[in-house]
Structure 1
Amino acid sequence: MLFFINLPGFETPKEKTQARELANLELQLDLLNKKMNEAEVVLHEIADRDNNLYRVYFEANPIPDEQRKAGFGGINRYKDLEGFDNSSLIVSSNKRLDILTKQIVVQSKSLDEIAIMAEEKEELLAAIPAIQPVNNEDLTRMASGYGYRTDPFTKARKFHFGMDFTAPRGTPVYASGDGTVTRADNSASGYGNHIRIEHGFGYESLYAHLYKYNVKRGYKVKRGDLIGFVGSTGRSEAPHLHYEVFKDGERINPINFYYGNLSPEEFADILKKSQAENQSLD
């Protein structure tokens, strides 16, 4: 008959195995916490760039810290992990892992939103009427700008809603932004042969007094595409392009949109000329 005596300091093979397994689990838990520390640092840096760079650039509200780092309310999610020797360590690690997972989900959704905004921003930048519709080397002069001018026919002082570019008949006219041609006809009073381009995002451009067209209604155009040629049709005193820009249905000053193809010196020169209160050509 065999007897096992439970002596202090004496471990059975089973206890030794359990002790090794427990030590291994503690080591793995410690490694997991170190990895979570690293992940938290990386995630913090991404969140900082997200709030202070990406979302600022795309004019989006930053995500508050309380939303990024929110815990979990309600019932005790970790009740099943209580009652063990290392319960506090296990519960703490699980809480960190759950919060970290939630932060990653929040950040992932934010980056998806940023990607959409970036795509829309690219479309917006292409759509804005950002170039002068007639090349500088083709201009005889910048005849008249946006503002009060003298009407060439009545000699009365009235508001001129566009810009007049004097150029020889047949000078190429270019689309100032990506968009769709909505009109290419002469049925609008005073404009003669004219083209309207709908750019999206509330922008529209108009090109009037043309000699002839190079596009038709419904054409898709890119910025810089040849759309027509300078003429003197409609209510016009001499060959020139009358150019207008609309935002949300309201005429705005086209001078603000020539950053796409003018140097600072050229822009300063045309700005000075456009502000002179002279006689318009239409």
Structure 2
Amino acid sequence: MAKVKYYYDSENLAYRKIKVKKRKKVGFVALFLLASALFGFLSFVLLLNTPYFDTPKDRLLLREIENLKLNYAVLNKKMDQVDNAIEAIEERDNNLYRTYFNTAPIPAEERKVGFTDVNRYKALEGYDNTQLVLQTTKRVDVLTKELAIQSKSLDYILKLAKEKNKLLAAIPAIQPVRNENLKQMASGFGYRTDPFTKVRKMHEGMDFTAKKGTPVFATGDGVVKQADNRASGYGNHIVIRHGYGYETLYAHLSKYNCKPGQRIKRGDIIGYVGSTGRSEAPHLHYEVHKDGRVVNPLNFYYGNISAAEYVAISKLANQENQSLD
């Protein structure tokens, strides 16, 4: 039973019953219902965002996320295997194939370089598992780039293999003056005494002493790049471009037997021994260049001399005597 409330009427000196209007009652009831509904809604929203009240859809999404994490872990393990396989191929490429064909290896920093575009992975940022997805995507990109570089490298090696005969014919492989025409091996590659200044300096080729007019032979197939006397000290000289990074130089000639632009074969007579330019006596000064650097010609005489002859010429060439130019 509801309590009856009274108020004191001071004018009539009596207690009177408080009468609540029906409109107010309805307002109180409506306010109570509204507050209850709002409280219930807020409670429902809070429960939805707690792990204690998951909908079937939420549980399905959670399972999918866990499966994706597992798939990413499996993918990374597979990428480890692919990475090991690529490294093995790169090792053979650099140290076997490229060494065999006398080609410079591809640097590791060039093979392993990623992408520098800062906006490339922008769309992957801002999620709960951003780091996992981001790192995996970057690994895939690097592996893809490595495979592209290796594919191009193997295409190049295949091209070199097809041109193997041309390569072998182009490499300087014989002496430019025949042994039977030699007076002596005057000077080899290395530091020697200059005949004019008597100062010890680098001698960048080999000197073959022979009579004036002795034939000089091209040591490999190629194209005559120069046949003139415009280089200081060399006198009449010939430069042959063999390709694959090789060039040879023949200096102090008495005359030429070829001209610039002419294609020649190994063993062709290209000129004759002389003493033009900065020379003390008739001889041929011979140089071999690989990729722009001077190398020891002694390493390129396997084509027309025996092992015994190579040992003999090697001993003479390594003596630190006086050069003839």
TM-score normalized by the length of structure 1? 0.61
Query: Which residue is 1:243 aligned to?
Result: 286
Contact between 2:195 and 2:322, CA under 8 Å: does it hold in 1?
A: yes
Query: Which residue is 1:263 aligned to?
Result: 306
Query: Which residue is 2:168 aligned to?
Result: 125
Contact between 2:186 and 2:209, CA under 8 Å: does it hold in 1?
A: yes
- CA separation in 2, counterparts of 1:203 and 1:56? 20
Deviation by residue 1:172-229 (Cα, 9 ceiling, x = unmatched):
0000000000000001000000000000000000000000000000000111000000
Contact between 1:58 and 1:117, CA under 8 Å: does it hold in 2?
A: no
- Following superposition, the deviation at residue 120 of structure 1 comes to 1.8
Query: Which residue is 1:179 aligned to?
Result: 222
- CA separation in 2, counterparts of 1:163 and 1:232? 15
TM-score normalized by the length of structure 2? 0.53
- CA separation in 1, counterparts of 2:170 and 2:324? 28
Matches of residues 124-163 of structure 1 in structure 2 within 5 Å? 124-163=167-206
Contact between 1:181 and 1:216, CA under 8 Å: does it hold in 2?
A: yes
The CA RMSD measured in Å over matched residues stands at 2.6
Query: Which residue is 1:254 aligned to?
Result: 297
Contact between 2:97 and 2:157, CA under 8 Å: does it hold in 1?
A: no
- CA separation in 1, counterparts of 2:222 and 2:234? 21
Matches of residues 1-282 of structure 1 in structure 2 within 5 Å? 59=97, 116-282=159-325
- CA separation in 2, counterparts of 1:112 and 1:121? 14
Residue 59 of structure 1 aligns with an amino acid whose one-letter code is Y
Query: Which residue is 1:21 aligned to?
Result: none
Name stretches of at least 5 consecutive residues in structure 2 with no aligned partner. Answer: 1-88, 100-153
- Following superposition, the deviation at residue 58 of structure 1 comes to 7.5
- Following superposition, the deviation at residue 124 of structure 1 comes to 1.0
Deviation by residue 1:86-141 (Cα, 9 ceiling, x = unmatched):
xxxxxxxxxxxxxxxxxxxxxxxxx9988643322211111101110000000000
Q: Against the structure 1 CA distance between its residues 60 and 203, is the aligned structure 2 distance closer, same or farther, given a 3 Å change threshold?
A: closer
Instruction: Describe the SS at the equivalent of 1:59.
Output: helix
- CA separation in 1, counterparts of 2:261 and 2:285? 22
Instruction: Describe the SS at the equivalent of 1:154.
Output: coil
- CA separation in 2, counterparts of 1:112 and 1:154? 52
Contact between 2:187 and 2:317, CA under 8 Å: does it hold in 1?
A: yes
Query: Which residue is 1:72 aligned to?
Result: none
- CA separation in 2, counterparts of 1:56 and 1:150? 39
Deviation by residue 1:14-43 (Cα, 9 ceiling, x = unmatched):
xxxxxxxxxxxxxxxxxxxxxxxxxxxxxx
- Following superposition, the deviation at residue 60 of structure 1 comes to 6.7
Q: Against the structure 1 CA distance between its residues 247 and 112, is the aligned structure 2 distance closer, same or farther, given a 3 Å change threshold?
A: closer
Contact between 1:139 and 1:165, CA under 8 Å: does it hold in 2?
A: yes
- Following superposition, the deviation at residue 154 of structure 1 comes to 0.7
Q: Against the structure 1 CA distance between its residues 117 and 249, is the aligned structure 2 distance closer, same or farther, given a 3 Å change threshold?
A: closer
Residue 194 of structure 1 aligns with an amino acid whose one-letter code is H
Q: Against the structure 1 CA distance between its residues 113 and 274, is the aligned structure 2 distance closer, same or farther, given a 3 Å change threshold?
A: closer
Structure with more relative contact order (C-alpha pairs < 8 Å, separation 6 or more): 1
Larger Rg belongs to: 2
- CA separation in 1, counterparts of 2:271 and 2:180? 17
Name stretches of at least 5 consecutive residues in structure 1 with no aligned partner. Answer: 1-50, 62-110
